[in-house]
A and B are shown apart, each in its own frame.
Chain A
Amino acid sequence: MWLGERVIHARALTKTYGDFTAVAGIDFDVQPGESFGILGPNGAGKSTTMRMLGATLQRSSGDLRILDHDPVSDGPLIRAHLGVVPQEDNLDTELTVAENIYTYGRYFGLKRGYLRGRVDDLLAFAQLEDKRDAKVDDLSGGMKRRLTIARGLVNEPTILLLDEPTTGLDPQARHVLWDRLFRLKETGVTLVITTHHMDEAEQLCDRLVVMDRARIVAEGSPADLIRRYSTREVVEVRFGSDRNAEVATQLEGIGERREVLADRILVYTDTGEADLEHIVGRGFMPVTSLVRRSSLEDVFLHLTGRSLADE
């Protein structure tokens, strides 16, 4: 089967553990050079999906083709062209930074001569040149993540699979990492990224699927999804956690729809400032208020009735 312009092709892809379904028949395609996101809360099935894509987990049923091959029969061949950044860094703590990349390259059967140059390039790319002889345990979380990415690039992969690349990093470290990933994307590498940070998905992904409880609940570009599942703006008002629910019942008719969370009310509207005035006009003085643009967070809330950030 010739896939044309698709590097990943998944149909009814399913993974079950006994009676439990971790991934329940998902469909998606990834185009070459695209940066594709899987956004979802804890336990949605993101890592399970990633491991099937990486040919390190057998699927239970459905079709999956990576680079026009089936991971069941051609796993090593596929993995030779993949870079994998797992959710948990699994660097070799007995080796130095440079040795980690070199050794990993040897597992692919790459030549020593080639690897010497490649290690230097990747250390430069990951901005770890002055750490080349450091032990892995002496690196910061952000550095470890960059090293794991550099290691995953040693075989010049066509597709790089990144499972929650920035979870647990501080904002500055995240931005450094995003910058590296942008550069990578410019070189034409296909990125598949899972995350439960909507800002990360908005920043990095050309297109994404929203996953919840083992299923894909929506698909599109970030802007697309916001247009389809949310309004242009959102008014956030807080009346104190004991009053939010009660006030919300009396805001009927303001905005397109409203969501009541534990700590605030969200009013979905295209005219935020005007609607905030309406609320105040009805005699409700919020403790704090904010008018902002819709984000993927709102898309997720709308689609699942739950907040990503609360998980």
Chain B
Amino acid sequence: MTIATRIDAPVGIHGPRRGAWHVAEYRLRNMWKWRSAIISFGIGHPVLYLASIGLGVGLLVDTSSGGVDGVPYLVFLGPALLATAALQGGGDETMFPTLAGFLWNKLFYSMRATSLTGAQIADGVLLAAGFRVLFTTLTYWLVLAIFGAVSWSTAPSLVALGLLAGLAWGAVMLAATSFVKHEDGFLSLVGRLIVMPMFLFSGTFYPLDALPLAIRWVGWISPLWHATELGRWLSYGLALPWWQLAISVIYLLALAVGGLLIGRRQFERRLTS
């Protein structure tokens, strides 16, 4: 028998050509196991929020002041809730797999022993998160449409916005989590100091202008606020200067690209040291 002493197989030096897809395939198969939870949460979340706050608070707001921004409260709230769900989906599907891959089951280390690269693993995690966001945004939009919070023609634009927002936040969490050495405290830190304030101060339930100037900056740096504003513009034509639209789109794109680039580098570093 002759034994190869050098390599002749056509595997690229940057890993298998579709490496990110192979990682995403694994992640999607893993999500599939949680499909009933994902689906019931995906539908339950919007139904609960719309029924309680949208209709309940909406009744109060609409009768006392005739809506917000000149539209019924439900219409004002809808795009914000959609953006929230998209960000949350994107964040969860990068943060938890990354914690697991580096700390809990250390799966990334066995992946990196194959021909995959650290960058491909990072790409794959974000790619799979993108599918999850797409699913979440679609269901959310559907529920919103049924409740009459968005018009039927907004489907493509709002879903695309949800995808962008989810990927942006997913990439940020991918990068941040890839630096975490010990899990203790990280999850509650993210929950209490980042996600919670972001949810409260991003103009979700009332316009950001209602807040004192001193805390309005939280909204300005919050991807959720940018996504929400874009959503309102797309949904009911909230009047926004063109430069604000441009900044919001660029900001979300920058988070997505920057997060992914930092994540890629840190994945590869951490898996080879």
Contacts and interface: CB of A to CB of B under 8 A. Distances in A.
A7 B22 CA distance: 29
The DSSP consensus for interface residues of chain A is loop
A253 interface: no
A54 to B, nearest CB: 6
Interface of B: 1, 3-7, 9, 11-19, 22-23, 25-26, 29-30, 33, 105-107, 109-117, 271-273
Contacts of B18: 109
A93 B104 CA distance: 11
A79 interface: yes
A76 B115 contact: yes
B272 A57 contact: yes
B113 A190 contact: no
Nearest to B4: A158
Interface string A174-195: 0000000000000110100000
A253 to B, nearest CB: 52
A84 interface: yes
A37 interface: no
A76 B105 contact: no
Contacts of B6: 2-3, 67-69
A229 B248 CA distance: 73
Q: How big is the A interface, by class?
A: 35 or more
B111 A107 contact: yes
Contacts of B33: 94
Given A108-B114, A188-B1, A103 B26 contact: yes
A54 B113 contact: yes
A247 to B, nearest CB: 51
B1 A6 contact: no
B7 A67 contact: yes
B19 A109 contact: yes
26 contacts: A3-B6, A5-B5, A56-B112, A56-B272, A58-B273, A67-B5, A67-B7, A68-B6, A68-B7, A74-B13, A76-B12, A76-B13, A77-B7, A79-B114, A80-B16, A90-B109, A90-B110, A93-B105, A107-B22, A107-B111, A107-B115, A107-B116, A108-B114, A109-B17, A109-B115, A190-B3
Contacts of B1: 33, 187-188
Nearest to B1: A188
B5 A68 contact: yes
Nearest to A3: B5
A77 B11 contact: yes
B272 to A, nearest CB: 5
A215 B80 CA distance: 62
A55 B4 CA distance: 18
